[in-house]
Amino acid sequence: MESALTARDRVGMQDFVLLENHTSEVAFIENLRKRFKENLIYTYIGSVLVSMNPYKDLEIYTKQHMDRYRGVNFYEVSPHIYAVADNAYRSMRTERRDQCILISGESGAGKTEASKKVLQYYAITCPASEHVQTVKDRLLQSNPVLEAFGNAKTLRNDNSSRFGKYMDIQFDFKGAPVGGHIINYLLEKSRVVHQSHGERNFHIFYQLIEGGEDDLLRRLGLEKNAQQYQYLVKGNCPKVSSINDRNDWKIVRKALSVIGFTDDEELLNIIASVLHLGNVQYGGEDSGSAYITTETQIKYLARLLGVDGTVLKEALTHKKIIAKGEELMSPLNQEQAASARDALSKAIYGRTFTWLVNKINGSLAFKNASVIGLLDIYGFEVFQNNSFEQFCINYCNEKLQQLFIELTLKSEQEEYEAEGITWEPVQYFNNKIICDLVEEKFKGIISILDEECLRPGDASDITFLEKLENTVGGHAHFLTHKLADGKTRKIMGREEFRLIHYAGEVNYNVNGFLDKNNDLLFRNLKSIYLSICLAKLMEILMSKEPSYVRCIKPNDAKQAGRFDEVLIRHQVKYLGLMENLRVRRAGFAYRRRYETFLQRYKSLCPDTWPNWDGRLVDGVSTLVKHLGYKPEEYKLGRTKIFIRFPKTLFATEDALEVRKHSLGMSYSQKTKYRKMRQSAIKIQAWWRGILACREAKRRREAANTIRRSVFIKGFIYRHQPRCPENEYFLDYVRYSFLMKLHRSLPKTVLDKSWPTPPPALVVVRYICHESVIKTIIDSSRCEMRDYAFLLFTGFRAAPDSLTTSVLSVGISVSSLSDGMFVLHVACEDNKQKGDVVLQSEHVIEALTKVAICAEKMNSININQGSIKFNVAQGKEGIIDFTSGSELLIAKAKNGHLSVVSTAD
């Protein structure tokens, strides 16, 4: 926090507690506005985090940001959800006490995203192993599954959670996440059968229709068109541009696999059965009894649910009545049958959701672990028309607000007591009076509702309202049209009652209260949740050390950068933020441990600068006296200093800013700099010496290694015949020479300026005569090294002399690739057989060798069309050369030898 105080005029306060005018709602909202415009979406109220939904991606959730907040004191860095997550984690590890993070706010404020960020933080920063990684994956993948089955598009949010979720993240003794457990609350099952205009059913239905494979949909009896299903078109909004149902379906299927759903056939059967139930239609007989007109849907339902079709039809058109111990089946009319169908659909989906949560819990189960709980639940809801659902949700938030204030006051009081500071009682609005109005036995609203549902006779929503007027009509927080004054009656309906919650006034329409309370769906919701689960939730939260995240949405249009002050003021009120700030500021605005305070401000007092060697409390006392703190401005506790007014802290901060400039060129700083420079030079010299010693040692070891190696032995034995001692050296010498020769070949094949081969290459030296030609080194040409000697049978003993004698005229060769050449021999008598006509695949190598041996390098004639040669006894022969596609040698009609060959 301190790091941002110097920039408070630009980005407001990082902590609302430091607002000078902390009782002003205008100042509070203006501080939110300043920070929101700078994309600073997080602000503290003490240890409470206020989060604004930016409706855009911000680069503040990277691995680098996680590392920045990991293991750092809560106030040392700027406000962030990671700071809350890390603080809870470190408290769990060091204090060995379970923690919980309560995330609240209305739909679209970013509660679900906040809980995701907490899970991601633990998944990435906590210790891991193969098993732990599996658990992390399952924890993260539980989110898309629960969102698919529990979230829906509403008017306020395209991905609104329509259930409350409490998740325990379980950690082992090493601090690694090893399991989890989820408790779900208040699933809005009425959405299964009805949606307001512009809203959708739960995501999973649309994902299945849009993304399901053709074979799967065929098996489920579904069509790839959401318009065909009554439960999906009530809100007239089957498609939403911001939602990709097809892609989300793939994500959900993958998540189910990670969690452990090896076969999701049963789950999908149930989801499909709900859609088929919605398409069950009724007709009416003359007697008024209902009958089913859509037999196809019954066939699908019987197969998907695994029940008898006849029994199912009867259940959808009759109700069971027990009279005098006998069971009777009474037919339903069309309206009653439709209600029974819808009730069954809601019950099926509700139980499926509970089963799904239990399945996820089974894959995450772990015992004997420390936990951090995450509560993501509906925020306070006020709509134009508020029914039984909003009544339950707002009652829950009323209880959470009561807990919030109690725990906040409790933590403040405990801190003061631990520090030995006198606690001054704080006056605050205690909403216990509202909770009692709703839940008190025999005379609370819930008890009256139960009693009216069980009362014999013609009970209705209106009789329930009348009963409320008679029983709680005099309550200060209850009002109806009948009890209101003339001005209020104009804006209140006759079927409404008003509750004055801590967050403000809400009008509830009683239409449907009795039906929903009688319905198994809402009976479970009311009796189990409101009586047992809510009490259990309160018990869970009270047993843990709480942290709070309050989420605010800046506008209803989900637009980035738009700040709707009226909407935000409403949320600030019903989230109880001003109340929380007032409680926090009732004592002291700022508190820090002595070591932290002294370290930051010690330069402001000569007696504490540069170091304080005594007790910390004495050092702080000396410092604040030097700064001129008045007794009413601060208190010294056992380990902390408490400063009552922000202006006192700001004056200290301003003095520190001035002091920083003077410290920059002070004598003490120069002296410290010189000492640090001298120390650095000594360390550098010492380190250079260490490095030099290491290098010398490395070189000695390398030299010894070389001396001991076979390479040295090979050099010593290099003139000896090949043996184990020199074979590696000789091979290396040959390789080096050949590679050098390869890199510097002579210009022409007749060039004699070749490098001298080493003794190890005696074979190559013999082949090359005086020099080695690169073309003969190639393996394919080495076989021609004696080719010139093999041209003349019987002359191998002395090839050089013989060649010189027989080759006195010259050599003729064609320009084609026929491989033929003529050796012209001087004719000394008529018995001589004439010139020699030869053919070779290696004609170039052969001619080169012969020419070198005979010293006739300039006697090679290349002919274009024909070659004349002596046959015998003065006769002359002619060879004609013609270009063609393939080699062909034959005697022509004119007596010439005809050679057809390709051009080279």
Quick check: is 275 in a domain? no
129 is in an annotated binding site: no
Residue 846: band (very low, low, confident or very high) from pLDDT cuts 50, 70, 90: confident
Could you say which of 46, 379, 637, 819 is catalytic?
Answer: 379
Does 105 appear as a known binding residue? yes
Q: Give the confidence band of 848 by pLDDT, cuts at 50, 70, 90.
A: confident
Inform me whether the pLDDT recorded for 202 exceeds 90. yes
Q: What are phi and psi of 584, to 5 degrees?
A: -65, -35
User: Annotation-wise, does 107 bind a ligand?
Assistant: yes
Tell me, yes or no, whether 799 lies in a domain: no
**489-496 mean pLDDT:** 90
Per-residue pLDDT for 21 more than 90?
A: no
Domain assignment present for 178: no
Query: Sorting pLDDT into bands at 50, 70 and 90, what band is 223?
Result: very high
Q: Which of 505, 539, 573 is the last residue of a domain?
A: 539
Question: Given 51, 78, 104, 160, which residue is catalytic?
Answer: 160
Residue 418 in domain: yes
C-beta of residue 552 within 8 angstroms of C-beta of residue 105? yes
pLDDT digits (tens, 9 = 90+) for 353-393: 999 999 999 888 888 788 999 988 777 777 788 888 888 88
The answer to the question of residue 407 being in a domain is yes
Q: Are 283 and 290 in contact (CB under 8 A)?
A: yes
Q: Residue 714 in contact with residue 728, Cβ under 8 Å? A: yes
Dihedral class, residue 212 (left if φ above 0, else alpha if ψ from -120 to 50, else beta) = beta
Residues 767 and 836 in one domain: no
Give me the long-range contacts of 85-91 (CB less than 8 A, separation at least 24). Answer: 85/117, 85/118, 85/121, 85/122, 86/121, 86/125, 87/47, 87/547, 88/372, 88/545, 88/547, 89/122, 89/126, 89/175, 89/372, 91/545
Could you tell me if 838 and 753 lie in one domain?
A: no
pTM value surpassing 0.75: no
Q: Are residues 445 and 517 in the same domain?
A: yes
112 is catalytic: yes
Q: Residues 142, 161, 603, 652: which is the catalytic one?
A: 161
Cβ pair 240, 246 in contact under 8 A: no
CA angle 873, 875, 877 (to 5 degrees): 135
- Say which residue, 678 or 522, is predicted with more confidence: 678
CATH of the domain at 406: 1.20.58.530
Summarize pLDDT for 513-539 with one digit per residue, the tens: 887 776 533 444 444 445 556 677 777
Q: Residue 108 catalytic?
A: yes
110 is in an annotated binding site: yes
Task: Tell me if 657 is assigned to some domain.
Answer: yes
Listing DSSP states for 384-427 in one string gives SSB-HHHHHHHHHHHHHHHHHHHHHHHHHHHHHHHHTPPPPP--
Q: What does the alpha-carbon distance between residue 551 and residue 160 come to, in Å, rounded to a whole number?
A: 14
| Known catalytic membership, residue 381 | yes
Q: Quick one: 497 and 424 in the same domain? A: yes
Annotated binding-site residue? 112: yes
Mean pLDDT, all residues of the chain: 82
Residue 111 marked in a binding site: yes
Q: pLDDT tens-digit profile of 601-642? A: 888 888 888 788 888 999 999 998 998 888 888 889 888 988
Q: What's the pLDDT score for residue 609?
A: 85
Within a domain: residue 599? yes
Number of other CB atoms surrounding residue 335 within 10 Å: 11
The total of structural domains in the chain comes to 4
Residues 647 and 723 both lie in one domain: no
- Do 410 and 500 share a structural domain? yes
Average pLDDT over residues 645-666: 75
Q: Which residues pair with 319 in a beta bridge?
A: 330
DSSP 16: G
Q: State residue 830's pLDDT score.
A: 63
Q: Does 508 lie in the same domain as 403?
A: yes
Cβ atoms of 550 and 79 within 8 Å: the answer is: no
Q: Are 885 and 825 found together in one domain?
A: yes
Q: Are residues 647 and 715 in the same domain?
A: no
Domain, as residue range, for 849: 809-902
Buried b (16+ CB within 10 A) or exposed e, 607-618: ebbeebeeebbe
The pLDDT of residue 199: 92
pLDDT tens figures, 310-337: 999 988 998 887 766 777 788 889 988 9
Q: Is 753 annotated as a binding residue?
A: no
Q: Which of 125, 151, 157, 159 is an active site residue?
A: 157
160 is catalytic: yes
Given 43, 53, 107, 431, which residue is catalytic? 107
Catalytic position from the list 381, 398, 439, 496: 381
**DSSP label at residue 557:** T
As to burial, measured by CB atoms within 10 angstroms (0-12 exposed, 13-18 middle, 19+ buried), residue 605 is: middle
Same-domain pairing of 768 and 813: no
Q: Does residue 379 carry a catalytic annotation?
A: yes
Q: Is 449 a domain residue?
A: yes
420 and 507 both lie in a single domain? yes
Identified catalytic residue from 12, 31, 53, 108:
108
Distance CA 113, CA 91 (A): 23
Ligand-binding annotation for 486, yes or no, is: no
Rounded CA-CA distance 165/59 in Å is: 27
Please provide the DSSP assignment of 801-819 as one string: HHHHHH-SSEEEEESBSS-
Q: Summarize the confidence of residues 867-891 as an average pLDDT.
A: 83
Is residue 810 part of the annotated active site? The answer reads: no
506 and 429 housed in the same domain: yes
- CA separation for the pair 364, 135 (Å, rounded): 7
Q: Which of 43, 47, 112, 363 is an active site residue?
A: 112
Look at the block and give the residue holding tokens 């969102």: 147
